[in-house]
Structure 1
Amino acid sequence: MVTFSTKDYWGNLFVVFTVPLPNRPPVFMSMKVTEYNKDKSGVVIIDPEKFLELWRNEPHSIHRSEANGTPQTWPHDRKYGHAAEGFSHGFDNPVPLAYVSHGISTRTIVSHRFLWFGKSVRHEQFHYVGFTNGITRTIWLLTQGCTAFPVECEMPGARELHRVAAAPNTHFYTVGELAEVASHA
C-alpha cells in the first residue's frame, strides 16, 4: 500500500494511501495530520475478514444490520452510492479514512449439563471495533473485494487493533510517525 504526504492549498498536511482493488484501478484515501492526532491516533492496515469479525462482535452496535451484511446486501445501503461517488474522484480528492475504536469486553456463557442439572458459568473476553465514522466507505471497500485498507484508530486501542486485525506484513504507526515516514516516500 503506497503512502505519501501532501499539503493542501492552506498548508494542511495529509497522508494519502493508495488502496489496491482486485478488479478495478486503485482508490485513494487520506487522513489530515494535526497536532491533536499525531500522538492520539494510529493507523492500522487491516485484514478485512478479521476486521469484519471484530465489527460483528461490537456489543452495543446501532449498526448491527450493516455489520452483518454481505457484499450482496451492502450495495442496497441508502448511502452506498455516496461512497461510490466519493471514491470515483481518485487521487485529486481522496476519501477520508474511517475512524474506529477498539475495545475488549466480557461475555457470560452459561451451559447446562443434563436436564438443567449442573449449570456451568464462564466469562470470556472478546475484542471488537466500533465506528465513529466511515461505515459506508468501509462496506464499499469490502464489496469491491479489497484485501487490505487503512483505518484511523484512537490510542491506545490502535496498537491492540493492529495486533488482532492487521493485514499480514504491515507495521503499526502513530499518525505522527506515519506522517514522518510518508514525507520521505
Structure 2
Amino acid sequence: MKLNWNIRYQIVSKHIYPINAQLIFEIPITNSTVYMKQDLLDISRKYIVLLDTLKFIQAWRTSTNDDRFPNYHVGNEQIWRSDRKFHHAEQGFALGLMNPVPIISDMACRYEYPNIQISFANHFTRTIWLLANHAEYLPIAVKSLEMAQTFQQYMGRDNCAIHSIADIYQQWWQQNQHLFPQVPDDLIG
C-alpha cells in the first residue's frame, strides 16, 4: 500500500482475528532510527499528520508559556533532556521495532495571529525526546480534519498528505483481506 508520504513506513498485522493492523513509522534520529506505531483499528476518527521538526519548533516558540511545562517551548536540547520523565521515553524508544512507541496524539494547535498556540494533553515527553534527538519528523494523530489541516499548513512536512486512520485501514484491508482465512458462516453467531 502506498500513501502519499515521503518517509519509510510499513503496515503490519500480528493477529488473525481481530485483524489488528498497525502503521509503523521509521523515524531517523541522530545516528539511529526509532519506531512509532498507530493502531489502525482505533475506533475514534483521527487524522495522521507528519510534522516537519524544524517547522514545529519554530511554531512552538511562538506559543505562550504552558504552566505545566514552563519554558519548554523556548527551550533547547539541554532543557528537554533535563525533564524528570525524559528517561522513560529513552527506555520506551530503546525497545525498537519489536515494541514501537505510540505516535503523538492529544496535541492541539490554533492560529492566533501572529502566533500559533500549541498545547499538549498527553505524549509531551515522547515529543521532547524526539526533538532532543533531532528526529527528522514527528507523526501525530489529531481528532479533527480542521486541526490536521492547521498543523499541516503551518508545520507539516512537505509533500506529505493528511490521511485518516479509518481510510488507511480500509485501503489496507481491501488490498490484504484475501490473505486472511474466512470464518465459515455456521461458526458465526
Alignment TM-score, normalising by the size of structure 2? 0.75
Are residue 88 (structure 1) and residue 94 (structure 2) matched? yes
Partner of 2:52 in structure 1? 47
- Runs of 5+ unmatched residues, structure 1: 106-123
Task: Provide closer, same or farther for how the CA distance between residues 147 and 181 of structure 1 changes in structure 2, counting only shifts above 3 A.
Answer: farther
Is the 1:42–1:159 contact (alpha carbons within 8 Å) kept by the matching residues of 2? no
Identity %: 24
| Range 15-24 or range 75-84, more displaced | 15-24
Task: Provide closer, same or farther for how the CA distance between residues 93 and 180 of structure 1 changes in structure 2, counting only shifts above 3 A.
Answer: same
The one of 149, 154, 178 aligned to 1:159: 149
Partner of 1:97 in structure 2? 103
Partner of 2:74 in structure 1? 68
Partner of 2:123 in structure 1? 134
Partner of 2:12 in structure 1? 6
Partner of 2:181 in structure 1? none
In 2, the alpha carbon distance for the partners of 1:129 and 1:154 equals: 15
In 1, the alpha carbon distance for the partners of 2:46 and 2:171 equals: 16
Q: What secondary structure does 1:140 align onto?
A: helix
Greater strand share, structure number: 1
In 2, the alpha carbon distance for the partners of 1:167 and 1:58 equals: 20
C-alpha root-mean-square deviation of aligned residues, in Å? 2.3
| TM-fit CA distance, 1:140 | 1.0
Is the 1:4–1:182 contact (alpha carbons within 8 Å) kept by the matching residues of 2? no
In 2, the alpha carbon distance for the partners of 1:60 and 1:182 equals: 41
- Runs of 5+ unmatched residues, structure 2: 1-6, 177-189
In 2, the alpha carbon distance for the partners of 1:47 and 1:85 equals: 24
Higher RCO (C-alpha under 8 Å, 6+ residues apart): 1
In 2, the alpha carbon distance for the partners of 1:166 and 1:34 equals: 24
Task: Provide closer, same or farther for how the CA distance between residues 180 and 52 of structure 1 changes in structure 2, counting only shifts above 3 A.
Answer: farther
What are the Cα deviations for residues 26-72 of structure 1, in whole angstroms up to 9, with x where unaligned? 110011233533xx321111111221233333346232322222012
The one of 147, 152, 160 aligned to 2:136: 147
Task: Provide closer, same or farther for how the CA distance between residues 160 and 182 of structure 1 changes in structure 2, counting only shifts above 3 A.
Answer: farther
Is the 2:24–2:36 contact (alpha carbons within 8 Å) kept by the matching residues of 1? yes
The number of residue pairs the alignment matches comes to 164
In 2, the alpha carbon distance for the partners of 1:159 and 1:182 equals: 23
In 1, the alpha carbon distance for the partners of 2:9 and 2:170 equals: 11
The one of 152, 159, 173 aligned to 2:163: 173
Alignment TM-score, normalising by the size of structure 1? 0.77
In 2, the alpha carbon distance for the partners of 1:66 and 1:169 equals: 29
Amino acid at match of 2:38: M
Partner of 1:109 in structure 2? none
